[in-house]
């Protein structure tokens, strides 16, 4: 027997309509340039999104067409989020930090019909335009006075398109499984692959960001959205913010410590989200700048994800700003929220140190997400906090395959998606990611977690950033090499770092060598590019028993 409830589709346009009706005056603040800000609210967003939808129709955009963006976090980018998906087209947010060849590949693979770009990407677009074969037109996110001289085209002016468009537009009632947005995983090997989200998956995912045991987002929050709109839909926050009427603060291109700090204070932001690298820079600024008005920072909750949150970041948020760090784990393929690091009632009265022990884990699965860990034969492993295995995931906002069939079948017979991460799950359900499976260091048959070593090393005074890779070893097969970027003006030594690590990690995990570099390579989403480091240090000889990988491979 079927139930008798109404079948109303879950649509992205309904989020905007709700925000306009119930939170019309909730603010959206956007940095548009050096010291310049644009301010409006959900009422204004609704009007301009409808104008934009009409403008897209006038340009010839049809349902299902892919519309690309190369843009920072701004109100215009947000308008594209709602207008493109709302009208039934697919918003393709391109990560501008990718190499130009990768962007070209992605835009052609997605068959983008239009490219909307921030002026800071004009040269990039100009260079690629001759090879973007399916693109019918370009739109500069600018007003008439700022338009670049066009050597490619047809080139339109965003503000002209909006000004010419009517604000009357009825959002179509789509099938909720209609594709809404497309993000390519940056992928450290091989070509990027497209993850295609639907209206349904996006709205369900937004509910969990607003849930109390999710990110607890609500109309009481002023959100500093540091995670880029081009990185997995900014972790779904634009949709969740509309669902609950949260104030949105969009920092544009200025993600340095000072700009983030000043904007956070000016807009009384109590909630923020970003990858660890951003927060390392943020705290570097705070520590190097005496006399900052820390008491004026209203931050209460910070979501850290994308890479493991080092203990030092969690402790500094607590000690310097009184803010609670929520670590979250996920990937493009999981929309991305999959596990969220909230406390359980039994943790509430623990000493800070022990609470931090909980926060350094990646959190528990949220409702809707199923997790399991398996060994190399696919056998299920215990959730006892000790056994480590390949992490599998399943759920209504987890991908079932990549755009245009890339990568073939990605689910097993029971519908599980292999994340490529190695994890432990404890008896309370907290996940601990120990590594990407390809980054695990296999030493004498045991596994060493490069993530744990990196996070411990970042806690050492004088260390700005650290990476750990496995290097060939005669006896142990692989041993850890620690690669460090010093904080400016510090001269911390390898011996001092190893001394600092003593007692904090198992003895046999101790890196066999420490090398210093000026900077570490990162992917376009801010993760350490281990592949590059492994190539760079392939010939590194450990003090005892090391064999250069290239020599070992040759032999």
Q: What are phi and psi of 244, to 5 degrees?
A: -115, 0
Question: If you search the block for the tokens 């949260």, which residue do you land on?
Answer: 246
Q: With binding defined as CB under 6 A, does residue 331 bind ligand ADP?
A: yes
Q: With binding defined as CB under 6 A, does residue 232 bind ligand ADP?
A: yes
> Measured between alpha carbons, how far is 263 from 386 in angstroms, rounded to an integer?
43
For the bound state, the minimum distance from the C-beta of residue 423 to ligand ADP, rounded and expressed in Å, comes to: 9
Assess whether 333 carries a catalytic annotation: yes
3-state secondary structure (DSSP) of residue 536: helix
Q: For ligand ADP, which stretch binds (CB under 6 A), given 281-289, 322-330, 371-379, 381-389?
A: 322-330
Output 98 or 482, the one with its CB closest to ligand ADP: 98
**Interacting residue with ligand ADP among 122, 222, 419, 449 (CB under 6 A):** 419
Q: With binding defined as CB under 6 A, does residue 527 bind ligand ADP?
A: yes
Assess whether 508 carries a catalytic annotation: no
For the bound state, the minimum distance from the C-beta of residue 76 to ligand ADP, rounded and expressed in Å, comes to: 24
**Interacting residue with ligand ADP among 30, 51, 185, 201 (CB under 6 A):** 185
Q: With binding defined as CB under 6 A, does residue 38 bind ligand ADP?
A: no
Q: With binding defined as CB under 6 A, does residue 525 bind ligand ADP?
A: yes
For the bound state, the minimum distance from the C-beta of residue 525 to ligand ADP, rounded and expressed in Å, comes to: 4
> Measured between alpha carbons, how far is 449 from 470 in angstroms, rounded to an integer?
10
Q: For ligand ADP, which stretch binds (CB under 6 A), given 184-192, 378-386, 469-477, 542-550?
A: 184-192
> Measured between alpha carbons, how far is 286 from 212 in angstroms, rounded to an integer?
30
CA distances from 364 to 213, 335, 358, 371 (A): 10, 16, 10, 9
Q: What is the dihedral of CA 138, 139, 140, 143, to 10 degrees?
A: 150
Q: With binding defined as CB under 6 A, does residue 433 bind ligand ADP?
A: yes
> Measured between alpha carbons, how far is 285 from 306 in angstroms, rounded to an integer?
21
Assess whether 298 carries a catalytic annotation: no
Going by DSSP bridges, is the β-strand pair 194-198/477-486 parallel, antiparallel, or unpaired? unpaired
For the bound state, the minimum distance from the C-beta of residue 183 to ligand ADP, rounded and expressed in Å, comes to: 8
**Interacting residue with ligand ADP among 312, 523, 540, 542 (CB under 6 A):** 523
Among 406, 447, 487, 504, the one annotated catalytic? 447
**Interacting residue with ligand ADP among 308, 497, 501, 520 (CB under 6 A):** 308
Among 93, 185, 399, 523, the one annotated catalytic? 185
For the bound state, the minimum distance from the C-beta of residue 330 to ligand ADP, rounded and expressed in Å, comes to: 6
350 to 389: interface string for ligand ADP, x by CB under 6 A: ------------x---------------------------
- Apex CA 528: angle with CA 523 and CA 531, to 5°? 85
Q: With binding defined as CB under 6 A, does residue 13 bind ligand ADP?
A: no
- Identify the CA nearest to 227 among candidates 188, 183, 162: 183
For the bound state, the minimum distance from the C-beta of residue 176 to ligand ADP, rounded and expressed in Å, comes to: 24
Q: With binding defined as CB under 6 A, does residue 186 bind ligand ADP?
A: yes
Assess whether 185 carries a catalytic annotation: yes
Ordered alpha helix ranges (H), 404-510: 450-458, 494-501
CB burial of residue 118 (10 Å; 0-12, 13-18, 19+): buried
Going by DSSP bridges, is the β-strand pair 90-93/112-117 parallel, antiparallel, or unpaired? unpaired
Q: Which helix (H) or strand (E) holds 42?
A: helix 42-59
Tokens encoding 112:
């983008």
Q: For ligand ADP, which stretch binds (CB under 6 A), given 15-23, 51-59, 182-190, 213-221?
A: 182-190
CA distances from 84 to 54, 77, 209 (A): 10, 10, 22
Output 30 or 272, the one with its CB closest to ligand ADP: 272
Sequence-distant (6+) residues with CB within 8 A of 14 are 171, 203
Output 202 or 523, the one with its CB closest to ligand ADP: 523
Q: With binding defined as CB under 6 A, does residue 434 bind ligand ADP?
A: no
Question: If you search the block for the tokens 């390579």, which residue do you land on?
Answer: 521
Sequence-distant (6+) residues with CB within 8 A of 476 are 443, 444, 545
**Interacting residue with ligand ADP among 43, 436, 486, 532 (CB under 6 A):** 436
Question: Both ends of the chain: CA-CA distance in Å?
Answer: 68
For the bound state, the minimum distance from the C-beta of residue 315 to ligand ADP, rounded and expressed in Å, comes to: 16
For the bound state, the minimum distance from the C-beta of residue 433 to ligand ADP, rounded and expressed in Å, comes to: 4
Among 62, 438, 442, 475, the one annotated catalytic? 442
Interacting residues with ligand ADP (CB under 6 A): 185-187, 232, 305-308, 327-329, 331-332, 336, 362, 419-421, 433, 436, 523, 525, 527
Catalytic residues: 185, 333, 442, 447
């Amino acid at each position: 027997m079927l139930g008798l409830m109404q079948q109303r589709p879950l649509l992205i346009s309904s989020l905007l309509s709700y925000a306009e009706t119930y939170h019309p005056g909730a603010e959206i603040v956007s940095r548009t340039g050096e010291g310049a800000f644009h301010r409006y609210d959900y009422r204004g967003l609704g009007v301009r999104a409808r104008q934009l939808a009409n403008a897209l129709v006038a340009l010839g955009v049809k349902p299902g067409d892919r519309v690309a963006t190369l843009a920072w976090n701004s109100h215009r980018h947000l308008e594209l989020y709602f207008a493109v998906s709302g009208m039934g087209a697919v918003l393709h947010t391109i990560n501008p930090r990718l190499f130009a060849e990768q962007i070209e590949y992605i835009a052609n693979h997605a068959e983008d019909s239009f490219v909307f770009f921030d002026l800071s990407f004009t040269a990039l677009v100009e260079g690629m335009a001759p090879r973007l074969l399916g693109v019918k037109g370009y739109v500069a996110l600018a007003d008439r006075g700022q338009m670049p001289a066009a050597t490619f085209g047809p080139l339109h002016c965003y503000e002209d398109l909006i000004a010419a468009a009517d604000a009357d537009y009825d959002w179509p009632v789509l099938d909720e499984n209609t594709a809404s947005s497309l993000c390519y995983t940056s992928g450290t090997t091989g070509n990027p692959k497209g993850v295609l989200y639907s209206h349904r998956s996006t709205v369900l995912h937004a509910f969990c960001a607003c849930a109390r045991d999710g990110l607890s987002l609500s109309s009481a929050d002023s959100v500093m959205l540091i995670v880029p709109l081009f990185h997995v839909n900014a972790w779904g926050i634009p949709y969740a913010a509309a669902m609950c009427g949260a104030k949105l603060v969009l920092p544009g291109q200025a993600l340095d410590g000072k700009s983030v700090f000043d904007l956070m204070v000016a807009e009384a932001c109590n909630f923020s989200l970003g990858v660890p690298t951003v927060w390392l820079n943020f705290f570097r600024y705070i520590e190097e700048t005496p006399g900052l008005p820390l008491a004026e920072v209203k931050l209460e909750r910070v979501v850290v994800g994308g890479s493991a949150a080092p203990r030092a970041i969690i402790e500094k948020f607590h000690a310097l700003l009184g803010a609670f760090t929520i670590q979250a784990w996920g990937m493009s393929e999981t929309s991305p929220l999959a596990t969220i690091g909230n406390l359980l009632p039994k943790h509430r009265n623990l000493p800070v140190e022990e609470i931090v022990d909980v926060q350094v884990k990646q959190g528990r699965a949220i409702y809707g997400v199923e997790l399991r860990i398996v060994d190399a034969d696919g056998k299920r492993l215990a959730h006892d906090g000790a056994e480590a295995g390949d992490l599998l995931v399943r759920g209504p906002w987890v991908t079932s395959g990549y755009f245009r069939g890339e990568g073939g079948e990605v689910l097993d017979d029971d519908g599980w998606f292999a994340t490529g991460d190695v994890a432990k799950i404890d008896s309370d359900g907290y996940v601990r990611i120990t590594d990407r499976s390809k980054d695990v260091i296999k030493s004498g048959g045991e596994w060493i977690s490069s993530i744990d070593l990196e996070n411990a090393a970042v806690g050492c005074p004088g260390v700005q950033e650290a990476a750990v890779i496995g290097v060939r070893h005669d006896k142990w097969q692989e041993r850890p090499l620690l690669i460090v970027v010093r904080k400016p003006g510090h001269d911390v030594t390898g011996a001092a770092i190893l001394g600092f690590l003593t007692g904090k990690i198992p003895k046999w995990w101790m890196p066999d060598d420490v090398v210093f570099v000026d900077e570490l390579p990162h992917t376009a989403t801010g993760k350490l590019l281990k592949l590059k480091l492994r190539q760079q240090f392939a010939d590194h000889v450990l003090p005892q028993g090391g064999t250069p990988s290239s020599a070992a491979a040759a032999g």
